[in-house]
């Protein structure tokens, strides 16, 4: 059965801390891995990863994919309260279908 | 990024009535849109893939007669929950597939619709 597993499911840290969110997957016909941030409603797109070992970076956020070990990590440095959200990892299977993980609920305390 | 609009954001209806939810891609054309359902504190579960000009493809366990999907244009897909019952109460989110440059294939999401069936 295809599955995407995220850990931890919940994380509470102080502002300024660095966090690492994990995503492992077992999905047939892997095409790419995507990270989304979901605050109150719509998930917003963060990164799409297709190749191993190439870090994608956007400000304080960065992500990398390991296709041999079947996992990805999302790093957030110098966290801010605005980073509080649910972070979703999804794997694109075949042409279009996305398989989502359960999400990691990140809470940044001031 | 590409913008997807979903309407309404919240709807309350009586049991037995039908509810239509619209999903529009505002600044790009989407031949493929997707409908997801999300239960509290759970992840998104794909219900169906909506293909412009053809029938939707439903995931296993999703009743196609209950969740009617129409994708009549390249910018609009609709989901109609027919004869809604309290167990249909949920958060429904649509997405539209955006084809960017080489290899770019990203789903952009609408803001979701919270359906409450009394």
Residue pLDDT, tens place only, A45-88? 999 999 898 899 999 999 999 999 999 999 999 999 999 999 99
Cβ within 8 Å, pair B109-A48: no
Residues of A in contact with B4 (CB under 8 A): 42
Q: Measuring CA to CA, how many Å separate A35 from each of A27, A81, A109, B26, B59? A: 16, 19, 22, 22, 22
Cβ of B105 within 8 Å of Cβ of A31? The answer is yes
SS3 A61: strand
pLDDT, residue B1, reads: 64
Q: Are A37 and A89 in contact (CB under 8 A)?
A: no
E strands, A8-110, in order? 10-14, 19-26, 30-38, 43-49, 56-58, 61-66, 71-76, 85-93, 97-100, 104-109
Suggest the residue from B106, B113, B114 to mutate for an interface test with chain A (most A CBs closer than 10 A): B106
A2 sits in which H/E element: none
Per-chain mean pLDDT for chain B = 90
- Provide the pLDDT for residue B51: 86
Q: Over 80: is that where the pLDDT of B69 sits?
A: yes
> How far off is chain A from B109, nearest CA to CA, in Å?
6
pLDDT score, position A96: 77
Q: What is the pLDDT of residue B53?
A: 83
Percent of chain A whose predicted confidence (pLDDT) is above 90: 85
Residues 6+ positions from A105 with CB-CB distance below 8 Å: A9, A10, A11, A86, B41
Q: Which of B1, B43, B46 sits opposite A101 (nearest CB)?
A: B43
**Residue range B96-111: average pLDDT?**
80
Averaged pLDDT, B59-64: 92
What average pLDDT score do residues A32-45 get? 90
Contact: B43, A42; criterion CB under 8 Å: no
Least confident of A36-45, A97-106, B4-13, B103-112: B103-112
Q: Residue B101: its pLDDT value, please?
A: 63
What would the pLDDT profile of B74-88 be if each residue is shown by its tens digit? Answer: 899 999 999 999 999
Contact A34 B43 (CB under 8 A): no
Q: What is the mean pLDDT of residues A37-48?
A: 89
pLDDT at B117 > cutoff 90: yes
Closest Cβ opposite residue A48 in set B46, B49, B106: B106
**What are the pLDDT digits (tens) for B9-52?**
999 999 999 999 999 999 888 889 999 999 887 888 999 998 88
Question: Scanning every residue of chain B, which has its alpha carbon at the shortest distance from the alpha carbon of A87?
Answer: B43
Range of lowest pLDDT (A33-47, B62-76, B97-111)? B97-111
B29-63 in b/e form (b: 16+ CB < 10 A) is: ebebbbbbbbeeeebbebbbbbbbeeebbbeeebe
Q: In this predicted structure, what is the pLDDT of residue B102?
A: 59
Q: What is the pLDDT of residue B103?
A: 57
Which of A49, A96, A102 to mutate against chain B (most B CBs within 10 Å)?
Answer: A96
Output the average pLDDT for chain A: 94
């Amino acid at each position: 059965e295809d599955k995407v597993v995220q850990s931890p499911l919940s994380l509470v840290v102080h502002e300024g801390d660095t966090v690492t969110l994990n995503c492992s997957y077992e999905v047939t016909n892997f095409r790419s891995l995507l990270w989304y941030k979901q605050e109150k409603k719509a998930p917003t797109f963060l990164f799409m990863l297709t190749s191993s070992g190439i870090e994608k970076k956007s400000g304080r956020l960065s992500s990398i994919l390991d296709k041999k070990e079947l996992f990805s990590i999302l790093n957030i440095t110098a966290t801010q309260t605005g980073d509080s959200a649910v972070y979703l990892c999804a794997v694109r299977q075949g042409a279009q279908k996305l398989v989502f993980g359960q999400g990691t609920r990140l809470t940044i305390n001031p | 990024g590409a913008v997807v609009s979903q309407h309404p954001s919240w709807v309350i209806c009586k049991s037995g009535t039908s509810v239509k939810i619209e999903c529009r891609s505002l600044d790009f054309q989407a031949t493929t849109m997707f409908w997801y359902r999300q239960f509290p504190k759970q992840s998104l579960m794909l219900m169906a893939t909506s293909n412009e000009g053809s029938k939707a493809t439903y995931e296993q366990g999703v009743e196609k007669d209950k969740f009617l999907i129409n994708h009549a244009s390249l910018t609009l897909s609709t989901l109609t929950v027919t004869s809604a019952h309290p167990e249909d109460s949920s958060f429904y989110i649509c997405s539209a597939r955006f084809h960017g440059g080489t290899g770019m294939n990203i789903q952009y999401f609408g803001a979701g619709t919270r359906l409450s069936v009394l």
